[in-house]
Amino acid sequence: MTKKKLDHRALARLISEIENDRDAAEKTLAKLYRDPENVQVIGITGPPGAGKSTLTDSIIGKLREAGKTVAVVAVDPSSPFTGGAILGDRIRMSTHANDPQVFIRSMGSRGSLGGLAHATFDVVNLLRSSGFDAVIVETVGVGQSEIDVLAVADTVVLTLVPGLGDDVQALKAGIMEIADIFVVNKADRDGKERLLAEIRMILELNRDRFDWVPPICETVATEHRGIDGLMEQVTLHGAYVREHRDAVRRPKLARQIEKMAADKIGRNILAILNEGGKFPAWMDAIIAGTKNPYQITQEIGNYISVRKEA
């Protein structure tokens, strides 16, 4: 395959555009979008401090050894910073900071008005289209927003650590459902056996629901231990996704398009309601006491369904 590679500076510029000017970015993305079958997007999620960035650094190392190019997006909803300013992640992945075949970018909540999930889809789709062999998305947490973000990943790696006190049962069901590979990181710590037993139990209970049974990998990311085993599973899952491409990707795409549509509608709704001065007229009516907010809401519903049929 001939790879059309965007240089890093051009990529950084496009990502800033995604963060600052959604409509302009949408036009660019519509032109650039490609979906090559052999690009694997790996999502790495898990609780804060589980070792996701250290693990990512190790994985980048293995991919580079195999001669692959890698792009990484670290998503941190709790950070206002963007453009590579999330310090911890940068340091943790600093081994590869000067490798021209590795592109690393951090994203925070600032500037992603349309929601971090949508901005992440855009950035990952851009990177997927840009000639990298692998794209890694690191996202903190195990809640709904991470589940949304990970709709963009082909392979989801859920990173857990022993002895954190949060039992596996306490994890949101959703995150367990989207995990393709479980990693027990910090396997050098006490409590590993208990965590392994809990994960095995959950997997056993749900066995019938899996076509792909998620494997459990033990790692010590700081010492690059267990990474070969993890990469083996990542590669196997990549092959599984290619083989069952439509079935695997359909629900993920549906989730992405739902998010993107809600975002688009949300951004346009006030403009729509303002058409023909409707919005101020509704306010006037409430203030004049001729209508109450619930009657207005009903009118808005009617107005939108009329538009839908038009």
Residues that bind Mg ion (CB under 5 A): 52-53, 89
Binding positions for ligand GTP, 109-148, rule CB under 6 A? 140
Comparison of 92 and 252: residue with beta carbon closer to ligand GTP: 92
- C-beta neighbour count of 81 within 10 angstroms: 15
Residue selected from 222, 249, 264, 300 as contacting ligand GTP according to rule CB under 6 A: 222
Cα–Cα nearest to 153, from 183, 181, 114: 181
**Measured distance CA(201)–CA(213) in Å, rounded:** 13
Comparison of 225 and 278: residue with beta carbon closer to ligand GTP: 225
**3-class secondary-structure state, position 271:** helix
> In whole angstroms, how close is the CB of 25 to ligand GTP at the nearest point?
26
Residue selected from 88, 251, 293, 301 as contacting ligand GTP according to rule CB under 6 A: 88
Cα–Cα nearest to 41, from 121, 141, 108: 121
Contact call for residue 26 and ligand GTP (CB under 6 A) = no
Question: Residue 85 is encoded by which pair of tokens?
Answer: 């300013």
Comparison of 6 and 73: residue with beta carbon closer to Mg ion: 73
* CB-neighbour burial class of residue 306 (10 A; exposed 0-12, middle 13-18, buried 19+): exposed
Question: In the block, which residue shows the tokens 């590993």?
Answer: 192
Question: In the block, which residue shows the tokens 């910090």?
Answer: 186
- Residue 176, binding choice from ligand GTP, Mg ion, none, Cβ under 5 to 8 Å by partner class: none
Comparison of 66 and 87: residue with beta carbon closer to Mg ion: 87
Question: In the block, which residue shows the tokens 């709904």?
Answer: 144
Residue with the closest Cβ to Mg ion?
53
∠ CA 119-123-125, nearest 5°, is: 115
**Using CB under 6 A as the criterion, what x/- string covers residues 160-199 for binding ligand GTP?**
-------------------------xx-xx----------
Q: Yes or no: say if 56 and 72 are a contact pair by the CB < 8 Å rule.
A: yes
Which of the ranges 52-60, 97-105, 197-205, 282-290 carries the binding residues for ligand GTP, by CB under 6 A?
52-60
Comparison of 224 and 291: residue with beta carbon closer to ligand GTP: 224
Residues within the interface to ligand GTP (CB under 6 A): 48-54, 88-89, 92, 140, 185-186, 188-189, 220-222
